[in-house]
Each structure stands twice: as C-alpha cells, then as structure tokens.
Structure 1
Amino acid sequence: MLRWPYTFAVAVTVAITATAIGSALYLDLPLKDPEGFLGPAYVRLPLLALMFFAAGIVPAAIRRTGIKRLPAGISEAVREEWSLKRVGYIATGLITFYACYVSYRNLKSYLPVFRDNVLYDHLLVDMDYWMAFGQNPAVLMHRWMGTDVMAEILSFAYIAYLPLIPITLGAFLVLNRDLSIGAWYATALSLNWVLGTLSYYALPTVGPAFWQPQLFTDLSTTDVTALQRSLFRNRVDVLADPWASERIHGVAGFASLHTSVTFAAALFMSRTGQRLVIRIAAWVFFLLTITATIYFGWHYIADVIGGVVIGWMSVSLGAWASGNRGRRRRWGLTRADSDVDEPDAQPATVTVGESADGAESRAG
C-alpha cells in the first residue's frame, strides 16, 4: 500500500470527507451536492467517467480495425489495453477528486456558521492599496483595460475554468500509460480543495466584489456578473437561516482557488514536460485567470499570492505522494510506446523529431 500512488490521496480524501460529515452532524446541517456544469455529482461523475473511457478506447479501436469494424476494435482494445488495474487507478483518481471537491464545497458553506460570519476584508483592502501604491488594483485594471471588450474576454476565461479542470484530469488519467502521472495530478488537484478549505477558515473574507460592490458597477454584464449575483443571493439566503436554506454558500476570498488550481495545472504541465503548446496554453490560462480574479473583484492581491503558494504545495506534495518527486521528463498525453504502470518506473523521453524506439530513458 505504501507503494500505491493513491495511498496519500485516499487518506486525505477520507480525512476531509469525515470532516465534512462530522461538521454536518455537529451543526445539524445537511450535506449538499454542489451542481456543476453537467448537473449533480451523481450524474456528473459517471458521465465524465464514460466520456473519458470513450476518449481512451475509441481512438485505439479505430487505429486497430477502422471505423467499419469499430465494435470489434473496441473489444480488442479493451481486452489488450484496459486491465482491471488501469480501470481501478482511473476510478480512484476521479473519486478522490470529486469527494474532496464536494467536501470542500460543503465545508465552505458551513464557514459563516463556524466562524460566526467574522470577516477580515478590511485588512486585505488595506494591503491591496499598499501593494498598488495607494490605488485600488481592480479600478486600475478597469481604467487600463476598459470595461466592455476585456470584460467579455476575461469572463469567458474565468468561466472556462469550470469544465476545463475536470477535462484535463480525465485526459491525464485515461491517456497516460504511466498511471502514477494521473495519480500525481489527481492528488495535486484534490489537495487544492483541502488546503483551500484550511485557508478559508484561517482568514475568512468575501472578496472585493462583495465587500465593495460599488467599485464594479461600471463593468459590462457578463456570465461572471450572473454568477456573482447568484452567489450573493445564496449567501444572503444562508446567512438569514442556515438551517432553513436549501442553497449552498459559496463565497470565500482567501485564498483564491481559481489561482491555486490553474497554477497547479500549469506547474504540473511544466514538471511533466508536456508539449510546448500545452505548457504555453496552461500558463496563459493561468495569467488570464489571475487577471480576471482581480478585474472582477473576486479576490485581493493577497488571495492570488496565497493561491500560488497552495498550488505549488499541492503539486510538490502530489509528486512526493505518488512517487514522482524530482522527476522531469518530456511525457506526452498520448504516448503509445510504453506500457508503464508502476510509480517508480522510468518511461522513455521522446523529443521532437525522435522516434520512440530511439529515445533514451532518463530521470531528471
């Protein structure tokens, strides 16, 4: 069990799930299912799992037998490439990710009750003005970038986070032959939820848009606007009577988990040596995300800094826990030249223009 790359992730998942259940019993509040972009978790998780399995099986089947004999190709691909061990690893990665996420969302919802709605936004407002040389950073962005076209661009980037992160997780779990790499990513993402929950309770805040909403009234109406209004309504409803409300409270500022998760994803892409275009896209998305968090008033500058720290800790701990500490390689998402599934295995390094057969294995 100590060599299994999911041992730490499962232990963390059990701990945060037990904490969420214990908190619900202590407060006499129900555990709630935070609906995502594909519906409730009991629908979302099986649906995503089927999509990811199809993404791994169907292309392999087409390569083997062509489209006309697809059923035979699927049967052959499943029989030869999809062992119970591989399926178990993928299922474990998805379950730990979503169990940590659902627990995090519920503990976030209990935050106003546990902390008696004590807030420290005034401290982070002062810090924002100090770090921006006496100016409000969000207002400065509005002046420099405008409040129309840029609002639409940043809103798209911010909302895209919701489906992109589970999709990237599925890609690494399903398409990597080295199963410990998927375990590393699943562990890192799960740790973001856990460490983020701790940061919420350590320094409760609501963020600029909820603390000083008058600073953001000139922004164009976007999907972010609708999301913030929905979160505000949920917050008011929960604060009025947590035991009568059917909503889930979703407002917390420090630290920024949009920042931590996108930073963790970009850092992970770099540490695992993904293709240059993937690494660049990940870092650009991270920069767009942190810009959007300040621009729309989701977070203070300190929240972003805290998010970067959490993201780095999550990737580093995930590497250690999954047996990937110190590894630097050029791994691709769809490598078909090795069938490595042990965490301490040394997969080949394939550089651009070099065949898999001529590649050398090395550890960085």
Structure 2
Amino acid sequence: MGRGDFRGAVAVAAVMAVATVLVAAAYDLPVRDPDGVSIPTWVRLPAIVLLAVALDVVPRWVAATRRDQDGAWQALRGVVRERWNRDQVRFTVIGLAAWYVSYVAFRNLKGYLPFVTERLWDTELASADRLLWLGHDPADVLHQVLGTGWAAWLMSGVYVLWIGLVPAMLAIALVWTRRSRTGELYVTAVSFNWLIGVAVYYLVPSLGPIYSAPRDFAGLPDTFNTGVQDLLLDDRVTVLAGAWDTRAVQTIAAFASLHVAITVTTCLVAELIRLPRWIRVTAWTFAVLTSLSTVYLGWHFFVDVVAGAAVGVVAVVLGARVTGHPLRRRDQPWSRPALVREDAQQAAD
C-alpha cells in the first residue's frame, strides 16, 4: 500500500492511526467505530462502493448483451475484465482503505478532545465574528435578512444533504475515474482535510454557537437539524459521563468547519479538471449555501467558515504535491475521451 497511487493518503492514515492509539492509551479511552451505533462504517462504505461498481458494470453489461450474441454470461465476463482488472481493483481497495482509516481516526481524535483539554475558545471566536461583522453577530444578521421560516428548513436541508456528499464523491473518485490522478488527488486531499482539521480542533477547541449561546437560536423552528444538534449534545454528555460505558462518540467541535473545507476541496478539484460548467456552478453554489447554513443554524462561527475554506485549499495543494498532480487547470474542458487518454498515459507511466 505504500507505493504508487495512494502513498500520500496511506501516510496520512498511518499518522492519524498512530495518533489515535497514543491519545487513547494516554487518556484511557476506547477506539470506536464512529458510526457503529447505526450502520458500521466498515459496512456502509464498501456497500456504497459496491453500488457504484454495479452502476458502472450493469449498464455496460446490458449494452454488450444487446450488441453481441455470445450470451449474457460471456458479456458480463467481458465487461468485468475490461472495467475491473487487477490494477483497478487495487486502486479502489487501497483508496477506500486509506480513506476509511483516516476517517475513523479523525472521528475518534475529535471525540477525545474534551478529555484532553477543558479550554474552550468560543468567547474569543464570537468576539472575532463581531469584529469582522462590524459589531454585529453574523447568525443574527442572517436570521434578520433571511427570516426564520422557510430559510431554516432550506438551511437545514443543505447541511444534512452534505452528509451524503462525501461518500458519494468517494465512490465516484474510486470507481468511475479509471485510476486517474484526479481520483488519487481527491481521496488524498480529503484525507488531508481530516488530518489538518483535527489538528486545528486541538489548537482551538470550541463548541460552536448553538452550544455556547443557544439562546441566540431559540427563535428557529424545530427541523431535522434540531434533532441532530440535540443528539450530538446527548452523545457528548453520555461520553463524558463514561466513555467506556457507551458506544456513542463525542463529535462536537467547531473550529474549523470541515463541512466547508471538504466542500471547497470538491469545488477546486472540479475546477482543476474543468467539469461541465453547470456542475461547477452547482458545486460552488452548494459551497456558499453550506457556508451560510453552518452560521445560520449555529453549528459554526463565521471565522470557522473562513478557516474551513483555508483548510480545503491547503488540503488540495498538499494532495497535489504527494500525488504528482500538476495542480493546474486543464487546457480543454472535461470530456470522456480526454479522461480516457489521461488514464492510459498514467497506466503507461
């Protein structure tokens, strides 16, 4: 796993795994599957990738069956040999494993934060927000401008929708890009997001406005976002009462916003390969809405959003450096033939 496609992502995963074990041992804390209470991550992620593989293979199988007269089984074998040779399987498995280890380590290290330090920077972050917004609270400004009716439901939907963005993009990068450097870049950059993000959490630990100043958001209606915020607070209280007595994981940390960081990373990669204009515009629009929703709903301070955007940019630069991506925009807009030529050249190299 240490050579070739994902050596940078594997290195990040190794560093984060070691850090997780050391912190867990030092503070007598368990290492948990962060999503083990519902569907374990080690089940959910492979299932998503397998679904993406099926979507990659089945349409081609159907087309080959209609085109050739050799029979369905022969057509399936031909498609699988063409699309999923040993190198492609290796590419997907190593990328998925590296991402999974980084993610699990990130979630555990994030959960250990209140055991490592009791210092919180929410007061200072709120002061920084007011300084940047000329004495006003950013969330209060958004509530006044957008209202607290339909906007609350829209922002809640945007924030929750992000949860499906990362595994979906992961599946696309590992399954549909045919071992491209873009796929390597994206997976590695997201791993760097986890690494840099958790480091910043420890440098500037904070809860976020919804937990440090809940009265400022009392006027918002109850949405599914409200349920998530209540659940995370309950998990934090339960874990702090006895980390070994629960399978829950503490996941509250505000600075910097990893929602914004990974969304910015996704947008930058889309720009680098010059995806169709409508995709890039949609991606940046979603990034703006994600940034607004984090502040509007109280998940993050405005400075968390700025810091998150910076993390996303740095992660792409580091990902490009370790994967050998030229980090320059394509001369020509994205097209399937161009991507195939790129993959063929990479395979030859």
| TM-score bucket (shorter structure) | over 0.9
* CA apart distance, 1:286: 0.5
Q: Does residue 105 of structure 1 match 2:107? A: yes
- Residue by residue over 1:92-150, the C-alpha shift from the partner in whole angstroms, topping out at 9 and shown as x without a partner, is 111111211111000000000111x2101110111111111111110111111011101
Q: Does residue 340 of structure 1 match 2:348? A: no
Question: CA, structure 1 residues 61+338, in 2 after alignment: closer, same or farther (shift >3 Å)?
Answer: farther
Aligned match for 1:88, one of 78, 87, 90: 90
User: Between Structure 1 and Structure 2, which shows a larger proportion of helix residues?
Assistant: 2
- Higher mean alpha-carbon deviation, 5-14 vs 27-36, is at 27-36
8 Å CA contact 1:152–1:222 kept in 2: the answer is yes
TM-score by length of 1: 0.89
8 Å CA contact 2:30–2:243 kept in 1: the answer is no
Distance 1:95 1:2 in 2: 12
- Residue by residue over 1:259-317, the C-alpha shift from the partner in whole angstroms, topping out at 9 and shown as x without a partner, is 10111111111111111111111111111100000000111111111101110011111
* CA apart distance, 1:64: 2.0
Question: CA, structure 1 residues 30+63, in 2 after alignment: closer, same or farther (shift >3 Å)?
Answer: same
The corresponding residue for 1:66 is 66
- Higher mean alpha-carbon deviation, 15-24 vs 287-296, is at 15-24
The corresponding residue for 1:194 is 195
TM-score by length of 2: 0.92
Q: Which amino acid aligns with 1:188?
A: A
Q: Which amino acid aligns with 1:185?
A: Y
Distance 1:322 1:345 in 2: 16
The corresponding residue for 2:29 is 29
Q: Which amino acid aligns with 1:313?
A: V
The corresponding residue for 2:43 is 43
Distance 1:17 1:169 in 2: 20
Gaps of at least 5 residues in structure 1 are: 347-364
What pairs with 1:278-297 in structure 2 (closer than 5 Å)? 278-297=279-298
The corresponding residue for 2:261 is 260
8 Å CA contact 2:31–2:108 kept in 1: the answer is yes
8 Å CA contact 2:37–2:248 kept in 1: the answer is no
8 Å CA contact 1:188–1:264 kept in 2: the answer is yes
Q: Does residue 237 of structure 1 match 2:238? A: yes
8 Å CA contact 1:274–1:333 kept in 2: the answer is no
The corresponding residue for 2:221 is 220
Distance 2:106 2:273 in 1: 27
How many pairs does the alignment contain?
Answer: 345
Q: Does residue 172 of structure 1 match 2:170? A: no
Give SS of 1:154's match. helix
- Residue by residue over 1:49-69, the C-alpha shift from the partner in whole angstroms, topping out at 9 and shown as x without a partner, is 211211221222223223996
Question: Sequence identity, in percent?
Answer: 34
* CA apart distance, 1:327: 3.5
- Higher mean alpha-carbon deviation, 95-104 vs 209-218, is at 95-104
Q: Which amino acid aligns with 1:163?
A: G
Q: CA RMSD in A?
A: 2.3
The corresponding residue for 2:137 is 136
The corresponding residue for 1:357 is none
The corresponding residue for 1:19 is 19
The corresponding residue for 2:272 is 271
Distance 1:334 1:104 in 2: 37
- Residue by residue over 1:37-81, the C-alpha shift from the partner in whole angstroms, topping out at 9 and shown as x without a partner, is 982112112211211211221222223223996544321111123
Q: Which amino acid aligns with 1:290?
A: S
The corresponding residue for 2:252 is 251
Distance 1:307 1:54 in 2: 34
Q: Which amino acid aligns with 2:334?
A: W
What pairs with 1:308-327 in structure 2 (closer than 5 Å)? 308-327=309-328
Distance 2:99 2:304 in 1: 23
Distance 1:2 1:240 in 2: 40
Distance 2:72 2:33 in 1: 37
Gaps of at least 5 residues in structure 2 are: none
- Higher mean alpha-carbon deviation, 275-284 vs 243-252, is at 243-252
Question: CA, structure 1 residues 38+47, in 2 after alignment: closer, same or farther (shift >3 Å)?
Answer: farther
8 Å CA contact 1:209–1:296 kept in 2: the answer is yes
Distance 1:228 1:94 in 2: 29
- Higher mean alpha-carbon deviation, 93-102 vs 183-192, is at 93-102
Question: CA, structure 1 residues 3+101, in 2 after alignment: closer, same or farther (shift >3 Å)?
Answer: closer
Q: Which amino acid aligns with 2:108?
A: N
Distance 1:328 1:50 in 2: 31
8 Å CA contact 1:176–1:335 kept in 2: the answer is no
Aligned match for 2:334, one of 331, 335, 341: 331
The corresponding residue for 1:349 is none
8 Å CA contact 1:178–1:341 kept in 2: the answer is no
8 Å CA contact 1:323–1:344 kept in 2: the answer is no
8 Å CA contact 2:189–2:318 kept in 1: the answer is yes
8 Å CA contact 1:189–1:261 kept in 2: the answer is yes
The corresponding residue for 1:358 is none
* CA apart distance, 1:336: 7.3
Distance 1:215 1:36 in 2: 33
8 Å CA contact 2:129–2:303 kept in 1: the answer is yes
Give SS of 1:66's match. helix
